[in-house]
């Protein structure tokens, strides 16, 4: 196994459960002739730890403990690498002597010794010009004044304002239609030629290629119901455990999740990482940034608390990266739901997700347009992710923002048909809360990247710039101006439109034609997205999507309210509220040679 996996013997023994980490490190202490210590039982000298950045200690799994005589004792979890770092350390500390500690002990000691530095770094990794952390009350005042002026204009000239707003509604509808149509056509044209790597079988691991180490971050927050099921789901992953590390990332003050995890015996390749409180900010991207410093993987992935990834997902991600071009920094998987039969709203949510992740996003990715990431099941080349500064800790849709920054930096995202099942928010108010967070994040992301439109145009190029406008303006406009868009349906019913006296009849006809065309296009894409056998039961519900989006109006105005008063507030979605629809859900794979399907692992509930 060591020859096949290119992993160290001790890592394999521990990952397979054949011995304990403490036993391996006792053997390493004898092998290297080092003293074994527990850095958690003593406080590292702060004068020593501050001489080098906390990220240096985390990256190399080192922590200076004390000065003994003329030597500085430095605890290391990787004694075979200490010789390469001795020169650097000696320039800072003078003579040094390594002592041995386990990785968990060293990482915990680093977190305890440098909490403020690590927490501050997690909040400010992204350059200020590309971050929304400067979104202060003062900076929001100008936008608020502009909105007040707009309200005054509406009061002074209501009919002219209504005409202008109707024109904006039609423009955003046209943009969104163009994006959907472009993505859908591109996907359908390439569908016949679509190939995907076959699942990597255990026998394939004997090939003499080097498999990378993979780190997966799973942020948790107040998870009482879902944590046990999550552990069972992740335990079914087939990737070699010696090359896999999963971080369960929780906030320092989250006693609920800590108590839940304390009752569960975690496998050795899975560990809990607590993020220290800092400036009252509690967001998923801040937790991801903090955990990134402790990762050892060449590839970094993200899953959410309720996710049920396909058992071969990481194998397929690794296979895709091995053949991808160097500029492919991210691979995004397909998101689906394991409870689409819970109620009507869950069915519509499943159709919406299928339309995006199975038709539109694959299409726009093939055209090279900006792909807004989906929040989970995206994997990155670590070097590219760190070069970008990780995630914007203050943005509540850090995924969409990172998707834009990838393309601005010259990278791109590819889609892969590996599925992760999630829990659909199927009750009205949780759906509104979740959707309002997304829409608020879209607003912030758009405003941040449009600070300097000319620079954005230069970074993205004309096609990607227009594609980004279509996504963000189209998405936000469809919700903000939905009542105006729907008002054109009055014409189809033979009723007069309020702006009828102000515009030519041909304009009104164009409006109703555009509105009907948008609905027809959405239904066609929805029907295509759920045309496979295991999702075909959703096709009858596709015509009801218009009604499904009505609550989006509540969500978007809730998002507008929070945009000005609490832009960094993370309105958490509760998980574990429904049971999976086990008879319906299947894991699907597209292959050039077959379309074999098998049921996904259940969550054990």
The 10s digit of each residue's pLDDT in 250-300 is 999 999 888 888 888 889 999 999 999 888 888 999 999 999 999 999 999
Burial class (CB in 10 A: 0-12, 13-18, 19+), 493: exposed
Strand partners, 336: 421
Q: What is the pLDDT of residue 572?
A: 78
Q: Quick one: tokens of 590?
A: 């597209």
Query: Rg of the chain over CA atoms, in angstroms?
Result: 26
Q: What is the pLDDT of residue 586?
A: 44
Q: What is the pLDDT of residue 143?
A: 66
Q: Dihedral sign, CA of 365, 368, 372, 376?
A: positive
Whether the per-residue pLDDT at 194 is higher than 80: the answer is no
Higher-pLDDT residue of 379 and 589 is 379
Whether the per-residue pLDDT at 202 is higher than 60: the answer is no
Q: Compute the mean pLDDT over every residue in the chain, rounded to the nearest whole number.
A: 87
Q: What is the pLDDT of residue 585?
A: 42
For the segment 44-61, the average pLDDT, to the nearest whole number, is: 92
> Following CA atoms 520, 523, 528, 534 in sequence, which dihedral angle do they give, to the nearest 10 degrees?
-160
The 10s digit of each residue's pLDDT in 378-408 is 999 999 999 999 999 999 999 999 999 999 9
pTM equals: 0.89
The 10s digit of each residue's pLDDT in 437-476 is 999 999 999 999 999 999 999 999 999 999 999 999 999 9
Burial class (CB in 10 A: 0-12, 13-18, 19+), 265: exposed
Domain boundaries, the chain: 2-113, 181-483+551-573
Whether the per-residue pLDDT at 200 is higher than 60: the answer is no
Between vectors from CA 426 to CA 377 and to CA 354, what angle results, nearest 5°?
Answer: 45
Whether the per-residue pLDDT at 309 is higher than 70: the answer is yes
Whether the per-residue pLDDT at 500 is higher than 90: the answer is no
State the Cα–Cα distance between residues 246 and 304, nearest whole angstrom: 12
Query: Residue 362 in contact with residue 184, Cβ under 8 Å?
Result: no
The 10s digit of each residue's pLDDT in 131-185 is 999 877 666 666 667 667 766 666 676 777 777 888 888 999 999 999 999 999 9
State the Cα–Cα distance between residues 603 and 605, nearest whole angstrom: 6
CATH number of 181-483+551-573: 3.90.550.10
State the Cα–Cα distance between residues 236 and 67, nearest whole angstrom: 46
CATH number of 2-113: 3.30.300.160
The 10s digit of each residue's pLDDT in 231-244 is 889 999 999 999 99
- b/e per residue 578-601 (b: at least 16 CB within 10 A): bebbeebbebbbbeeeeeeeeebb
Q: Which residues contact 277 (CB under 8 A, 6 or more apart)?
A: 119, 251, 252, 253
pLDDT above 90 covers a percentage of the chain that reads 65
State the Cα–Cα distance between residues 74 and 60, nearest whole angstrom: 11
The 10s digit of each residue's pLDDT in 315-369 is 999 999 999 999 999 999 999 999 999 999 999 999 999 999 999 999 999 999 9
């Amino acid at each position: 196994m060591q020859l096949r996996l290119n992993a160290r013997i001790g890592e394999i023994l521990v990952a397979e459960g054949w011995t304990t980490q403490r036993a391996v490190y006792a053997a390493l202490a004898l092998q290297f002739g080092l003293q074994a210590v527990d850095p958690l039982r003593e406080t590292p000298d702060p004068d020593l730890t501050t001489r080098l950045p906390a990220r240096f200690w985390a990256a190399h799994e080192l922590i200076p403990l004390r000065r003994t005589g003329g030597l500085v004792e430095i605890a290391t979890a990787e004694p075979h690498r200490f010789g390469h770092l001795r020169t650097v350390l000696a320039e800072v500390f003078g003579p040094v002597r390594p002592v041995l500690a386990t990785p968990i002990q060293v990482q915990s000691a680093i977190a305890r010794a440098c909490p403020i530095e690590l927490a501050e770094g997690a909040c400010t990794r992204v350059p200020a010009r590309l971050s929304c952390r400067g979104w202060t009350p003062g900076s929001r005042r100008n936008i608020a004044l502009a909105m007040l002026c707009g309200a005054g204009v509406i009061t002074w000239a209501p009919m002219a304002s209504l005409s202008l707003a109707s024109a904006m509604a039609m423009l955003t509808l046209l943009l969104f239609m163009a994006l959907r149509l472009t993505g859908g056509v591109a996907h359908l044209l390439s569908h016949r030629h679509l190939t995907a790597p076959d699942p990597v079988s255990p026998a394939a691991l004997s090939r003499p290629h080097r498999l990378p180490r993979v780190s997966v971050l799973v942020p948790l927050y107040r998870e009482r119901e879902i944590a046990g099921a999550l552990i069972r789901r992740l335990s079914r992953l087939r990737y070699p455990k010696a090359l896999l590390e999963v971080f369960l990332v929780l906030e320092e003050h989250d006693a609920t999740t800590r108590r839940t995890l304390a009752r569960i015996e975690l496998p050795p390749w899975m560990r809990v990482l607590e993020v220290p409180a800092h400036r009252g900010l509690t967001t998923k991207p801040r937790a991801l940034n903090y955990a990134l410093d402790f990762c050892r993987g060449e590839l970094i992935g993200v899953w959410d608390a309720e996710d049920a990834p396909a058992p071969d997902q990481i194998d397929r991600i690794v296979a895709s990266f091995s053949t991808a071009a160097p500029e492919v920094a991210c691979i995004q998987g397909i998101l689906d739901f394991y409870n689409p039969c819970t109620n009507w709203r869950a069915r519509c949510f499943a159709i919406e997700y299928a339309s995006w992740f199975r038709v539109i996003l694959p299409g726009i990715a093939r055209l090279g347009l900006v792909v807004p990431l989906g929040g989970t099941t995206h994997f990155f080349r670590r070097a590219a992710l760190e070069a970008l500064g990780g995630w914007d800790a203050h943005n509540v849709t850090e995924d969409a923002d990172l998707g834009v920054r990838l393309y601005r930096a010259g990278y791109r995202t590819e889609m892969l048909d590996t599925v992760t099942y999630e829990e659909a928010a199927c009750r009205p108010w949780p759906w509104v809360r979740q959707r309002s967070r997304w829409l608020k994040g879209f607003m912030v992301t758009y405003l941040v990247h449009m600070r300097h439109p000319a620079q954005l145009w230069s970074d993205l190029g004309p096609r990607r710039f227009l594609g980004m406008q279509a996504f963000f303006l189209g998405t936000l406009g469809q919700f903000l101006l939905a009542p105006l868009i729907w008002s054109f349906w009055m014409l189809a019913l033979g009723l007069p439109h309020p702006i009828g006296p102000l515009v030519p009849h041909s304009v009104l006809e164009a409006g109703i034609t555009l509105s009907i065309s948008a609905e027809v296009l959405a239904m066609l894409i929805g029907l295509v997205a759920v045309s496979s056998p295991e999702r075909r039961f959703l096709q009858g519900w596709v015509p009801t999507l218009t009604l499904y989006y009505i609550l989006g109006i509540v969500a978007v105005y809730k998002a507008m309210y929070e945009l000005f008063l609490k832009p960094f507030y993370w309105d958490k979605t509760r998980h574990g509220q429904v049971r999976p629809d086990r008879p319906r859900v299947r894991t699907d794979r597209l292959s050039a040679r077959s379309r074999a399907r098998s049921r996904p692992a259940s969550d054990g509930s």
